């Protein structure tokens, strides 16, 4: 009997507790909803007014916290927003720009001629530049403005004097690994610029080849026209995108992000018009190569120690690429490597 009573009481208490907790939950839900609702109603206009009122201060802020970088998710690229003032980012000094007839650049005698020298003897293939660039320029996942291709050449030979000893015999590994940082070559005769139907991309007189994302219609002609695959269609802004030589940094007297971060100092950036600059000295004292010279693009990124382009041929004798995370996985070569089942 007593046990039954206890049961009943417990049931009642549980029911009451359930009812109470339900009520509590409803109350809390209403409270949270109300707060969120009121916050939205008040916060929206306040945020908008704040954003409108504080563009000036944001532009001048130096600590980085106040910069209102909305990322690529705002493809409207509002000029009133300080950071998104593309005229200031792309060409603050109003240097002459060229859409064709690049031989006329010499006539205006630009103050600077920015170039990059990449000393392959010093590159360790750490991909720091790849990361620095993605971080600096907010590059979407799967796309790169600079990347380091890693190639392997050579073979494993069975010899009696080899230093690799196995149960089946001794081997000598005659293998070389070569790291080749790649980026837009900022060509003096850029084929990607001439084909643009709306003059959205241009070459600035001091060297960088840039894209104005407010004008680009995203037709993809320049992406196809670049022999170095240095351009891509940005999946968020839906316009052509490429290395800018960190133009907003070099205009402020800084180095490009990839150069700053390079641990082996394999990337050297400088002014070719200045005979005392490091790049001028390097170019004067070393044999240099450029990528795909047969294209006639006159690249302005010079390599020390580049023995021809890495082969894309399916040839075991040729230098072949190793699959790093910057390599093209969208190919039959990767299919062969990974096995078709892995891709599905």
Q: How far is the CB of 162 from other proteins (least distance, A)?
A: 29
Q: Are 141 and 130 in contact (CB under 8 A)?
A: no
- 3-state secondary structure (DSSP) of residue 240: strand
Nearer to other proteins, 234 or 277 (CB): 234
- Neighbouring CB atoms inside 10 A of 182's CB total 22
Nearer to other proteins, 116 or 283 (CB): 116
Q: How far is the CB of 161 from other proteins (least distance, A)?
A: 33
Q: How far is the CB of 258 from other proteins (least distance, A)?
A: 14
Nearer to other proteins, 20 or 229 (CB): 229
Q: Which helix (H) or strand (E) holds 132?
A: helix 128-137
Q: What is the DSSP letter of 293?
A: G
Residue reference for tokens 């507790």:
17
Q: Supply 212's token pair.
A: 């104005």
Beta strands 164-166 and 169-183, pairing class: antiparallel
- Neighbouring CB atoms inside 10 A of 263's CB total 11
Q: How far is the CB of 330 from other proteins (least distance, A)?
A: 4
Nearer to other proteins, 101 or 176 (CB): 101
Q: Are 118 and 179 in contact (CB under 8 A)?
A: no
Nearer to other proteins, 219 or 290 (CB): 219
- 3-state secondary structure (DSSP) of residue 156: strand
Nearer to other proteins, 150 or 283 (CB): 150
Nearer to other proteins, 133 or 279 (CB): 133
- How far apart CA 99 and CA 190 sit, in angstroms, is 9
Q: How far is the CB of 73 from other proteins (least distance, A)?
A: 15
Q: Supply 339's token pair.
A: 């096995």
Nearer to other proteins, 42 or 217 (CB): 217
Ordered alpha helix ranges (H), 54-112: 55-60, 86-90
Q: How far is the CB of 74 from other proteins (least distance, A)?
A: 14
Residues that bind other proteins (CB under 8 A): 99-100, 142-145, 147, 149, 182, 191, 194-200, 215-221, 223-233, 238-239, 295, 312-314, 320-321, 326-336
For the CA atoms of 274, 241, 72, 141, what is the dihedral angle to 10 degrees? -110
Q: How far is the CB of 218 from other proteins (least distance, A)?
A: 3
Q: How far is the CB of 211 from other proteins (least distance, A)?
A: 12
The separation between CA 173 and the C-alpha centre of its own chain, rounded to angstroms, equals 35
Q: Are 209 and 184 in contact (CB under 8 A)?
A: yes
């Amino acid at each position: 009997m007593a046990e039954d009573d206890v049961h009943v009481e417990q049931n009642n208490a549980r029911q009451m507790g359930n009812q109470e907790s339900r009520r509590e939950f409803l109350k809390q839900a209403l409270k949270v909803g109300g707060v969120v609702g009121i916050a939205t109603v008040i916060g929206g206009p306040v945020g908008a007014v704040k954003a409108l009122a504080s563009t000036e201060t944001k532009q001048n802020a130096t600590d980085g916290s106040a910069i209102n970088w909305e990322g690529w998710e705002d493809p409207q690229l509002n000029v009133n927003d300080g950071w998104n003032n593309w005229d200031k980012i792309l060409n603050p000094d109003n240097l002459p720009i060229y859409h064709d007839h690049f031989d006329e650049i010499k006539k205006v005698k630009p103050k600077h001629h920015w170039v990059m020298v990449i000393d392959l003897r010093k590159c360790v293939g750490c991909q720091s530049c790849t990361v620095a660039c993605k971080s600096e320029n907010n590059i979407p996942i799967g796309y790169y403005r600079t990347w380091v291709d890693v190639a392997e050449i050579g073979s494993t030979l069975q010899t009696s004097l080899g230093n690799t000893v196995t149960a089946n015999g001794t081997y000598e590994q005659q293998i070389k690994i070569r790291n080749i940082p790649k980026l837009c070559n900022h060509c003096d005769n850029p084929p990607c610029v001439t084909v643009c139907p709306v003059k959205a991309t241009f070459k600035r007189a001091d060297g960088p080849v840039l894209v104005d994302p407010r004008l680009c219609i995203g037709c993809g002609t320049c992406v196809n026209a670049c022999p170095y695959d240095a351009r891509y269609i940005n999946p968020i802004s839906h316009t052509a995108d490429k290395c800018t030589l960190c133009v907003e940094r070099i205009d402020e007297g800084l180095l490009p992000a990839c150069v700053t971060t390079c641990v082996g100092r394999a990337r050297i950036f400088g002014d070719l018009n200045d005979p005392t600059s490091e790049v001028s000295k390097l170019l004067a004292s070393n044999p240099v190569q450029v990528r795909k010279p047969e294209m006639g693009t006159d690249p302005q990124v010079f390599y020390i120690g580049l023995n021809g382009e890495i082969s894309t041929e399916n040839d075991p004798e040729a230098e072949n690429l190793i699959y790093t995370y910057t390599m093209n996985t969208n190919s039959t070569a990767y299919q062969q490597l990974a096995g078709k089942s892995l891709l599905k």
